Structure 1
């Protein structure tokens, strides 16, 4: 990375890229950047991103709020460290795996799990990735398509398509599981039965009548996600076949 770019990066990104040293240890020997970030991730997981503040974090760590500023410059800095650390490493692929579909499916499923475990990531990941952690996930997804005839731009488009699907599906499932049980368990399907007039919404009415919106006994929470992912990758497969014939 050129020096002039490093000068423009936030402190956290410079630290993550090894272009700057972490701030000092402070007066509490047990307090470290890793411990602060781990506690912040746990707090955001348990109570949501809105609950994260330097004061709450200090209370959780048993230290004075000012002690945190010996390790991070502020909340924005802290959130960059959280965003880099929370997902963990991506799945490992070779440079050009033979099974592009299996590799990309694994990537998507593991990322889906990341979003479910850390729903706040979707709130923070609202700009192009810059830290080594997020870029490692992007690189893994691109490598999953390395053995296909798709050109680099097409591979990137496929990865963005899958990424947006994964993120949207995870956010939807998270919001649905947060609903009160009396609303989440069949109430929506019953309401649609009343509202989806066949004369006005013929296709929707047929879907409601077929039980599309009704709870399915024994269904796993991610069944719809996996079914949608299969359909999406079917389309990617068509694009790959077309590229192979070109």
Structure 2
């Protein structure tokens, strides 16, 4: 490779993971940062607030984390946790378990969607999830390139669903969005959208988000099955 490996990646890949120490440590700093981002959003995360949460002076944090960008990389590595244990009874249930677990990560940590937009993963935490997803297709007739494309299709579907779902859960109530659509969308201007609004598409019930996700994921996996049986 050309160029110097960033310090952050060197730390993540070359330093062994350690249990959280009682005193100030990178692990404690990252865990507190994840808590703030989860509860109040990424915009609420600052080094000064993080220091206050930890009962430390702001400058003390910089002995463990070089800057906020490095902190975000550490957070992306830690927040998802380990990938799920995949069932051994075939590629389809394995990919479904993987996709649902990833959806759970995005809903628990919606800020991940913001930080990772246009940012291919290089940290061991995220790459372990990609490795797990690819392993779901072990034993199939798909080439390595096809397996990767299948996984990217599933991953992008999960991201897209969570991007909307997580925002609706943490921001404006769903009913407000439905009311705005009903107010502005008229059949003479946007007839298909108006019909969808009249049918209640934008006022989902409590189980509709899960049903919508299941519908989309099933259609994708059906398509993969067709590819395997051609």
Match for residue 218 of structure 2?
Answer: 230
- Residue pairs, 1:209-228, within 5 angstroms: 209-216=198-205, 219-228=207-216
Match for residue 56 of structure 2?
Answer: 63
What is the Cα deviation at residue 29 of structure 1? 6.5
What is the Cα deviation at residue 156 of structure 1? 0.3
Count of aligned positions? 225
Task: Give the alignment partner of residue 110 of structure 2, picking from 100, 106, 119.
Answer: 119
TM score, norm. by length of structure 2: 0.87
What is the Cα deviation at residue 120 of structure 1? 0.8
Q: Check whether the contact 1:108–1:166 (CA below 8 A) recurs between aligned residues.
A: yes
Return the alpha-carbon distance in structure 1 between the equivalents of residues 198 and 219 of structure 2: 23
- Residue pairs, 1:36-185, within 5 angstroms: 36-93=29-86, 97-125=88-116, 126-177=118-169, 178-180=171-173, 182-184=175-177
CA RMSD of superposed structures (Å): 2.5
Q: Check whether the contact 1:11–1:73 (CA below 8 A) recurs between aligned residues.
A: no
What is the Cα deviation at residue 147 of structure 1? 2.1
Q: SS state of the match for residue 129, structure 1?
A: coil
Which structure 2 residue ranges, 5 or more long, are not aligned?
Answer: none
TM score, norm. by length of structure 1: 0.82
What is the Cα deviation at residue 174 of structure 1? 1.5
Match for residue 17 of structure 1?
Answer: 13
Match for residue 186 of structure 2?
Answer: 195
Which structure 1 residue ranges, 5 or more long, are not aligned?
Answer: 23-27
What is the Cα deviation at residue 102 of structure 1? 0.6
